[in-house]
Structure 1
Amino acid sequence: MVSVPITTVPVIPAGSLSATTQPSLSSTDGELLLRPWDVRDAAAVYTAYQDPAIRHWHARHMSSLDEAREWIEVADRSWQQEQRAQWAIVRAGSGEVLGRTALGRFDLHQGLARCGYWVLPEARGTGVAPRALAAVADWALRVAEFHRVDLEHSVRNEASCRVALKAGFALEGTRRSVALHTDGWHDMHQHARVHGDP
């Protein structure tokens, strides 16, 4: 196969993320800490994936603590491989796990990534998700120097739409019949934050 040179310069040079440890982040109000997952969080991860809403919107199922530990180990390797970054959202004072947020589908050459999140039932409706997403997007765009961060959710998931808008992700449109959930194909709202957005 012939290799054709690319004439654009990578937005984020390969190796620049993995040369450092994955950072911990704080929400602007200081109430939330986003830190890399630890194997001691396995019970919280396992519990999360027993929640019907998380299972429905993320189409994932976890059947044991061993699977939860493996999920955490994969999250750690994914940072080293510059493929994704996942954070536990914890209460800054107590360390209580409230949810998860992530950047995935890294395209370092183009400077692109996609956000994802879930919040445990007891923390929903308290502003955890938008504050965590805003912290991740701020870090991605201002520190890691990604150019664009995408976020997609089912058009049927109105709560996620509110979260995206509160975190500064502009609604750009709808992708038709693009995501398979347990109840069939869903249209997806496309949101994004771009470098330079307020």
Structure 2
Amino acid sequence: MPLLTRPVLTPGALARTEQPVIPTGDGLLLRPWQEEDAPAVHAAFQDPLMHRFHGRSCESEAEAAEWITRWRRAWAGEREPQWAVVAEGTGLLMGRVALRQIELADGLAELAYWTVAQARGRSVATRSAAALTHWAFEEIGFHRLELMHSTANEASCRVAVKAGFAAEGTRRKAYLHLDGWHDMHLHARVRGD
């Protein structure tokens, strides 16, 4: 059955080039994950706040290394590319930012992020989200980016708003966290916002 509209993005929109390093312009870099990031990823997931608002735990550096292997392959698969957020100059891991649930034909993806405990309160998530959003719209041509967070995660809501993602509604009991089902706020930006 032929489509009546043209796809917004076609296969290869991401994978035809190497995964880029994206500077935020204010001291952070979004870069592809490296094997040597495994100890820092493992350490980040020992933080109790990660357990509250993230669906995974990381039991060892070996497990973190397996994640990084998958994250490095995700670029070629164009489904869930991930970037390490690091301090420019030192390379210190500050967090992660990703595009998930990519639908190329619709020009749609979900933006996700987390920060290490030491980076919180320094606008790392906001700066990273803004840089990846700019790149996704202006360099690749995505049409819409969505962002979801637990309604209990007020800090993440502030990040979404500061990064220009308008609140669109609440998805009731949409994500299972360690303490049960959470309602999730849905935010979005469209190209040109």
* TM-score computed with the length of structure 1 as normaliser: 0.95
How do residues 1-198 of structure 1 correspond to structure 2 at under 5 angstroms?
4-29=1-26, 31-197=27-193
2:117 and 2:18 map into 1 onto residues whose CA distance is: 30
Unaligned runs of 5+ in 1: none
In 1, Cα distance between equivalents of 2:164 and 2:28? 18
Amino acid at match of 1:80: A
Unaligned stretches of 5+ residues in structure 2: none
What secondary structure sits across from 2:105 in the alignment? Answer: coil
Of 128-137 and 58-67, the range deviating more from structure 2: 58-67
Tell me, in whole angstroms, the C-alpha distance in 2 between the residues paired with 1:76 and 1:94: 21
Question: Residue 137 of structure 1: CA displacement?
Answer: 0.6
How far is the alpha carbon of 1:173 from its aligned partner? 1.1
Q: C-alpha deviations, 1:58-83, integer Å up to 9, x for none?
A: 11011111111110110111110111
Query: What is the letter of the counterpart of residue 168 of structure 1?
Result: G
User: Separation in 1 of the partners of 2:13 and 2:185?
Assistant: 31
State the number of aligned residues. 193
Deviations 1:28-62 (A, max 9, x none): 32x11110100110001111111111122111011
Amino acid at match of 1:90: V
The letter for the 1-side match of 2:106 is Q
CA distance in 1, matches of 2:125, 2:13: 28
SS of 1:102's partner is: strand
Taking the aligned partners of 1:5 and 1:77, their CA distance within structure 2 comes to 31
Per-residue deviation at 1:16? Answer: 2.4
What secondary structure sits across from 1:94 in the alignment? coil
